[in-house]
Amino acid sequence: MGTRIPPNAPGNQCTVCFGVGKTFGQTNTPKILEVILQDLEPGPAWNTDLEGTILTRKRLIQQANPCEYSLREGDVLFFWRWGGSTTLYSVEDVVTPTEYFRGSQGGVCLLELDNDLLTSPFIGATGGVALASWNPEDV
């Protein structure tokens, strides 16, 4: 059945985004970041068996780097990172390997990313947007 994801709580502080003068202010960094994909368009390598996995809201868990979140569900890896100058989100089948979403945009601590993938035989989806969120009252 997999590992049960705990309710949200304060995580380790991501000093890139949280703190005095930072994008999200002086609040706790969430342990869980929720991400959902919207408006994806199936590409040449779209796998209908993974549709339910890819298109449902995900609760990514904070990693050792407090600005990174990930979740592996079956063969699909979901990964979000707030970096010093960019925000990144990727969704890929690590076995085939097929990419379904890769958004990397300049801008610190973004919560919305466009899919950068262009069609090719190894691309599972194009278009769409990834939206990240958390409830500040939970942390």
Q: Is the pTM of this model over 0.85?
A: yes
Query: What is the structure's pLDDT at 10?
Result: 87
Kindly list the domain boundaries of the chain, sorted by start residue. Answer: 32-138
Residue 135 has pLDDT above 90, yes or no: no
With a cut of 70, say whether residue 5 has pLDDT above it. no
Per the listing, tokens 């868990």 go with: 61
Q: Which two tokens stand for residue 62?
A: 């904070």
- Per-residue pLDDT tens for 116-126? 998 888 899 99
89 CB contacts (<8 Å, ≥6 apart)?
Answer: 35, 78, 79, 80, 81, 101, 102, 103, 113, 130, 132
Q: What is the pLDDT of residue 1?
A: 44
pLDDT for 99 beyond 90 = yes
Distance of CA 114 to the CA centre of its chain: 12
What is the per-residue pLDDT across 15-58, written as a single tens digit (0 to 9) for each?
A: 999 999 999 999 999 999 999 999 999 999 999 999 999 999 99
pLDDT in tens, 51-98: 999 999 999 999 999 999 999 999 999 999 999 899 999 999 999 989
Q: Phi first, then psi: what are they for 137, rounded to 5°?
A: -70, -20
